[in-house]
Chain A
């Protein structure tokens, strides 16, 4: 396997509603920073891959606009996934394995504010059996949360503690949107929005973008003092229909983690893409992190502090990589998810040299 590392990462500050900028305007400074910080001249980057969802913008081919932020002249080699930027990173990593390129720019972006994102996300569901019912994203997560609470030892209090911890840790994250000292007891006295989920159990609605530059082997060593090496990366998917799955477990996360070599030794930092507190508990069970011991879970605050859909998974990889590069951690795990109720999961294992 060819050595590939994250050599830079940039993100916008997530906001509830960026009514003034379009996606390209949000993206430009993020891409410029990631490229400048990478130490690799823009025109030398071998490949660009982006992740976004046209349905967030409500326009077919909206993703093509994103290319205006990268200056695609002379013509560039690029690709796109209608998925979180974490999967764009996976594609870039695969191309880097082939050896034809030595570096790649990956970005993810989206404005969740223009539409009703809870309803927009129903458009990803089975068009025959599910989509005509319009079961929104929070409702689906609530079905999963109740199953979790009723068939395992997990509790609403644990969920509230995840919410409180996330927003408290996010206080040191300048790009987070929802931060502060919330008390689990106080959260538990709030009404449900869709039982058994309360507002604090859910990620905020965010507009934002993120970019990562990957470099291979000696190039990574040349441009970065401490590259965050991708030691393993894998993603797995479960059947789509929620009624066919055991929603209280995440076998795809487990499988991806095994294949990526995540479970082989201790993890210092785990950045998990859990837009719902209940989902963090399920992911931690799958990863053997139910009792984190030494592993710091979501020091960035995670998706509960900022959830720019289509960038949030890539941000997990970026946040984990940053902690490697700045010496805070030696071994980190980043996770991204896609689809209803944790249907599809990606695991990326990062290490310092």
Chain B
């Protein structure tokens, strides 16, 4: 049989996937995020003595449970960066910015966040940056609105 017009047109439609995710953070991540609410940054000491930021529950090499928190930052050094001329909808900044890995003072590993440098020419591996805190903080990685050049 013929199916008439039904046969001729393959449909497309907008499909929206939304989840209101609420996540329990546990004592280690929870402590770091609580610190952010208070404009404090902390790392955790790993099995080999290095200070890991952001803190993890278990050592990435030995899987040992970690518990010793160390104050770090607030400023740090950019260890690598990438320039976003056109931000994507959910990025922390809605103007051109840099993603960066930032090794906070006192830390041995780097934190990933946005840097509001204004212009790509201001970005340089090795530059120092400091956090720009959001006015209203809830205990969330975005309590840091972004980092900005220290100078």
Contact = CB atoms under 8 A, between A and B. Distances in A.
Given A19-B10, A150-B125, A244-B52, A136 B88 contact: yes
Interface in B57-102: 60, 79-85, 88-92, 99-101
A247 interface: yes
A130 interface: yes
A73 interface: no
A239 B57 CA distance: 12
B36 to A, nearest CB: 11
A143 interface: yes
Nearest to A247: B80
Nearest to A122: B90
Interface string B1-34: 0000000001010010100010101000100010
Contact of B114 (A20, A130, A133, A147): A133
A258 to B, nearest CB: 18
B91 A133 contact: yes
A176 B52 CA distance: 43
A247 B82 CA distance: 14
Most buried by A among B15, B21, B99: B99
Contacts of B132: none
B98 to A, nearest CB: 9
Nearest to B81: A146
Chain A, interface SS category: mixed
B82 A195 contact: yes
Nearest to A118: B88
B113 interface: yes
B120 A119 contact: no
A142 B99 contact: yes
Interface string B115-151: 0000010000100000000000000111000000000
Nearest to A19: B12
Contacts of B120: 195
B63 to A, nearest CB: 11
A344 to B, nearest CB: 14
A114 B16 CA distance: 11
Interface string A120-150: 0000000111101111100110111111001
Contacts of B110: 242-244
B52 A194 contact: no
A174 interface: no
Most buried by B among A116, A135, A197: A135
Contact of A134 (B90, B103, B113, B125): B90
Interface string A5-25: 000000000000001100000
Nearest to A120: B17
A58 interface: yes
A241 B82 contact: no
Given A133-B113, A147-B79, A242-B112, A128 B23 contact: yes
Nearest to A191: B85
Given A20-B10, A134-B91, A136-B88, A127 B21 contact: yes
Interface of B: 10, 12, 15, 17, 21, 23, 25, 29, 33, 52-54, 56, 60, 79-85, 88-92, 99-101, 103, 109-114, 120, 125, 140-142
Interface of A: 19-20, 58-59, 114, 116, 118-119, 127-130, 132-136, 139-140, 142-147, 150, 192, 194-197, 239, 241-244, 247
